[in-house]
A = this chain, B = another copy of it.
């Protein structure tokens, strides 16, 4: 057995010249005992944390909650990683996939000292130990799984499936980092986790760090076996090998035999990582690297009660949660618990003051090498903001509003291209997408970088190389999971995806927002760059894909989350998209949804106006209405009708409706309001972006009728208005599931969003008689009928709709 010391860190004084021999493991095993002891103590005790008194019922918590089964395995890995770090100086981040192993991870953080540094009330003494055990799963305390309050963590152990994706995202452009990612055999059954094994196709050892998966098979879930747990070592090795890993199995139930095996496996894995990276960094990459992986097979609840009430517990699903129940009421269980806890001999682990004995404390690494203190887990060591070039570099020339069309997202591609160029020396930006970069018109990024792929290149491949930093993989889970890992370690990114299919990772969006919300409450947590999600191929433009490809539901999902964290933008055109993108890329700790279609759309605002519009969140578009200019009459009268929109297709339709109304009914005063930051609609006490009452009234008056053309479900718009004056005057046309048809005009028609529907809605809400109103209504009904038959005959929109652009309204010919 050779100890690998390939990357010594000269600042780390405590390298041992150890070998994986037995002397080491006596101490290490006692350290593991301490971790296991504290794990049990957290689950059961509210007093007498070190068992200095005989255990009594009143020491036991009134409610026993938590998970024991995964704990010993997690601690085993943790203490062996400590050993590896001390021997090698490796910078290791620990990801606990089995998140319910919270008490084990916290036990190790406490033992290495990081927990007390972050939470001084949980100090290294009796009082601190009492806090440690009492806080676990109790009111006002900490949850039973790893989460934002856990030092050294970037991974919430609640919703299973994303540990390996988060680990992969964390190592991208983090060349010195090793993420040791423990994957439980429960989590290993989830789709997202199974999909994550393909990481070797995307990790470049020349520039990225390394993920070291430790697939921990304890064989059982809450009440049944795991699929992998019942497969042979060979079968599991073959599975990981097929995904490109170089796995090794460590298996057993006798700690004396396990320790040297696991130590050797970790030493070997580290040596392989160093060798792969050295080779790649000195000689370049050559296909996907055979990254080491460890398959660790130990009994569930190892060192816990073997048998309880005559039933086997250790090594079975019965050790999943609380192996001994009713301890307060059942003296036998109480005695068994005491015997179990005393089996770790706490008096030989902690001194009389409650402090871990020095010879054990010396087994933990020091300073930032402790896994609970790895700066990567707290937004990165030195998070560097992006330097963004002036938007004028990308701005479309918009000589007249609405007169020209352009693919709205194309300019964003140019902006992202320059971000890639400007971060070449300090790579900290990546675009993630399920294979849609060109399709999303973001292809300009390929002037600066390639698609990342470690696999074989073929002739005819387009911008594909191991050095590329555009991450394309047909998995929303991987795109978002990688990005989350990248962001939580302090880097920046964009996730561009199909609007309807953004629901695939909606639960991840929810969990990430919860993480950010919780992390913001913790003073010691650094802010991290925002999760920016670009939703394109929207519900209104699915020319051929149809009903299954339409769904604005992610907006609704996001709206229910904490207002401190979520933002939704619907830029109507390219320059506004630039202004919004500039903002979201500078922002921190948000989930920003940016909803914009990739297709050709009319362009309205020059870059200056777009900046102002985006900053305001919503503005009156005076050029699109016909009110007298402000000041002319010393105080504007309210318009006869307000037309409001949010979203690109709805904006085009509302403008065309305004144009129809002004053209046919010239005496009608029309105001057009465009909303780009959805949250301005909410009252100020509901969202920090909410407009003041005054600002809201300046846009929408306090009682005027408003026809709204809105991108999403009408209810989403309505609910934001809750608390605004007379919300019933807002007549919202949005997407609905009324129809199952295929094509754009049909969808606009089915959902009542066409310019003709909107103009008719407006006429319905206007009080008083206006010359031309009846004729316009007839025209609208006629056009709807004519268009319906035209598209079925000619398979495309009527020319007067297809080719319509904004021009100064004038009476129609012949009227």
Which A residues form the contact surface with B (CB < 8 A)?
46, 61-63, 65-66, 134, 137-145, 147, 156-161, 186-187, 189-198, 201, 219, 221-227, 230-231, 235-236, 238-239, 241-244, 311-312, 315-318, 435-439, 451, 453, 455-456, 458-462, 464, 472-478, 500-501, 503-504, 506-507, 510-511, 513-515, 517-518, 521, 543-549, 551, 553, 556-557, 559-562, 713, 715-716, 718-719, 722, 737-738, 740-743, 745-746, 791-792, 794-796
Contacts and interface: CB of A to CB of B under 8 A. Distances in A.
Nearest to A743: B139
A795 B474 contact: no
Nearest to A200: B227
A503 B510 contact: yes
A57 B293 CA distance: 59
A137 to B, nearest CB: 4
Q: How many chain copies does the complex carry?
A: 2
- Binding site of A, secondary structure by majority: helix, strand, loop or mixed? loop
A144 to B, nearest CB: 4
A139 B223 contact: no
Contact of A562 (B63, B318, B738): B738
Contacts of A737: 513-514, 517, 560-562
Contacts of A435: 186, 221-224
B189 A473 contact: yes
Contacts of A561: 737
A548 B158 contact: yes
A682 to B, nearest CB: 11
A226 B478 contact: no
4 tightest A-B contacts by CB?
Answer: A143-B546, A191-B195, A158-B548, A65-B544
A653 B473 CA distance: 48
Contacts of A161: 191, 504
A304 B244 CA distance: 33
Contacts of A227: 198, 201, 455, 473
Contacts of A473: 189, 227
Most buried by B among A137, A193, A242, A517: A242
Contacts of A186: 435, 474
Nearest to A196: B191
A799 to B, nearest CB: 11
Most buried by B among A139, A503, A507: A139
A134 B743 CA distance: 13
Contact of A743 (B138, B511, B722): B138
A160 B500 CA distance: 12
Contacts of A140: 741-743, 746, 791-792
A650 to B, nearest CB: 17
A198 B226 CA distance: 11
A507 B186 CA distance: 22
Contacts of A719: 715, 718-719
Given A157-B548, A223-B439, A225-B461, 9 more contacts: A137-B543, A140-B742, A144-B544, A221-B474, A222-B435, A222-B436, A222-B438, A223-B438, A521-B740
A109 B222 CA distance: 46
A236 B137 CA distance: 45
B147 A546 contact: yes
B792 A139 contact: yes
Contact of A458 (B147, B225, B453, B718): B225
Contacts of A65: 543-544
A500 B143 CA distance: 15
A718 B459 CA distance: 58
Given A548-B514, A559-B715, A740-B517, A474 B191 contact: no
A164 to B, nearest CB: 10
A578 to B, nearest CB: 24
Given A462-B224, A546-B143, A743-B140, A191 B134 contact: no
B158 A545 contact: yes
Contacts of A238: 238, 241-242
A439 to B, nearest CB: 6
Most buried by B among A236, A241, A551: A551
A437 B190 contact: no
A284 B543 CA distance: 52
B548 A553 contact: no
A518 to B, nearest CB: 4
A459 B140 CA distance: 41
Contacts of A137: 543-544, 742-743
